[in-house]
Chain A
Amino acid sequence: MNDREIIVSRVAKEVRDGMVVNLGIGMPTMVADYLPEGVKIILQSENGLLGMGPAPEEDKVDANIVNAGGKPVTAKAGACFFDSAMSFVIIRGGHVDLTVLGALQVDAAGSLASHIIPGKMVPGMGGAMDLVTGSKKVIVAMTHTAKGDAPKILEKITLPATAVGKVNMIVTELCVIEVVPEGLRLIEVAPGRTAAQVQERTAAKLIIADHLAG
């Protein structure tokens, strides 16, 4: 498995049958392809769709049905469409069980930065701020470090915050980290990795779970 597959297949294990789930554009979208046997979820797309299905075959594209990235998708049997106010009633109101999204930085308090690099990349937050604010559980799925091994998991984020203290879990190609009141708790390392190796690539002090210590 490549890094992305390692990350999304691990995130998929957090998904429970029947959950309402919002998957961010890009790598998080792949989580839907790695769900455990028998686990069925209701995918929410913030542009106004519950019950989103996979991308259609090319000859079956319906221009009226797209995902939050504007790309053609399908609506499963039992799906429904709604306007953006209802979409954010669902999102902000705590009716989404799980949000999976990428991030540029995450910190020891569970704050994340995902929407802006001042002066460089200014796409905007879209629905991300509402999703991380309102979802029952928030998982950040990302590569452990940025280009040149620059750490992305920090004591305190340095980029503008997308939300403060809202992340519950961080899944990278190296490990799984839980955000707890005391800070970041390392609960799993990928096969062939050690807790010390993970700590070396992490700028925040990790609390190492007992079974990984030593």
Chain B
Amino acid sequence: MVRQIDAAQAAQMIPDGATLMIGGFMSNGTPEILVDALIEKGVKNLTVIANDAGTTGTGIGKLIAAGAVRKIIASHIGLNPMAGQLMGEGKLEVELVPQGTLIEQIRAGGAGLGGVLTPTGLGTDVANGKQVISVNGKEFLLEEPLRADFALVRGSVVDEDGNIFYKGTTRNFNPVIATAADIVIAAAEQIVPPGEIPAESIATPGIFVDYMVGGEPV
């Protein structure tokens, strides 16, 4: 059952040191209302798993600027100069993962798989310390599944059963991270009664969502 709460209540559930998956791609599709509530609460030592570090002044960039993040696992931090700076100063641990590998690790975490085999990263630093497995004469890296304590997703329209419709490119990591965390919190631009979203347009089935928060800025 999905419960409607407000952003402060959502932040209250998330303790210092938690591991969070956060949706979005360069902050497009990132639940800003939940990020703001976490900063307001003053949460610390988070591990964030996301595509990127957001930008200066948006999304995960704000969390990093507030000193809330101890470690980030992402494919790219280049649009957030502060992330690079804090990494250089030893104040932020950064683990860079190829984007296609990261999303498959999360998918594996949500899908009950023991990992994925990918050719991406073979012969590069990404392969360091990883098992190389040969399948039918082709080599692959074994990448292990990723899970989190919480997934923070951003829906454009969410119905009262938690079913989510994502507009445009805001979908990105959101539906995948919603499968791979113990508790899933969805911020919604708009909350509607069940049946309002055409069933074919639902990209995240409501069973994955535990809590929803209205008022996400359009």
Contact = CB atoms under 8 A, between A and B. Distances in A.
Given A45-B169, A64-B169, A122 B94 contact: yes
Contacts of B51: 84
Given A70-B27, A84-B25, A124 B75 contact: yes
Interface in A48-90: 48-49, 62-66, 68-70, 75, 81-85, 87-88
Contact of A75 (B79, B98, B168, B203): B168
B134 to A, nearest CB: 16
Contacts of A69: 26, 79
Contacts of B122: 133, 164
Interface string B177-218: 000000000000000000000000001000000000000001
Interface SS of chain B: mixed
Nearest to B59: A70
B174 interface: yes
A126 B124 contact: no
B17 to A, nearest CB: 24
A129 interface: yes
B78 interface: yes
Interface residues of B, number: 47
Interface string B142-172: 0000000000000010000000001111111
Contacts of B125: 160-161
A126 B119 contact: no
Given A81-B169, A160-B125, A126 B175 contact: no
B73 to A, nearest CB: 11
Contacts of A164: 122-124
Contact of A91 (B27, B76, B100, B107): B100
Contacts of A173: none
B78 A129 contact: no
B167 A64 contact: yes
Contacts, number: 143
Nearest to B26: A70
A31 to B, nearest CB: 21
A47 B120 contact: no
B79 A70 contact: yes
Interface string A92-112: 100000000000000000010
A163 interface: yes
B206 to A, nearest CB: 17
Interface string B24-45: 0111100000000000000000
Contacts of A122: 77, 84, 87, 94, 96
B25 A125 contact: no
B4 interface: no
A172 interface: no
24 contacts: A48-B171, A49-B169, A62-B168, A64-B167, A68-B25, A83-B203, A84-B176, A85-B176, A87-B100, A87-B172, A88-B103, A122-B87, A125-B126, A126-B75, A126-B76, A126-B99, A129-B98, A129-B100, A129-B124, A130-B98, A130-B100, A133-B122, A163-B123, A164-B124
Given A85-B176, A130-B99, 8 more contacts: A75-B168, A84-B51, A85-B103, A87-B100, A123-B77, A124-B74, A134-B120, A164-B122
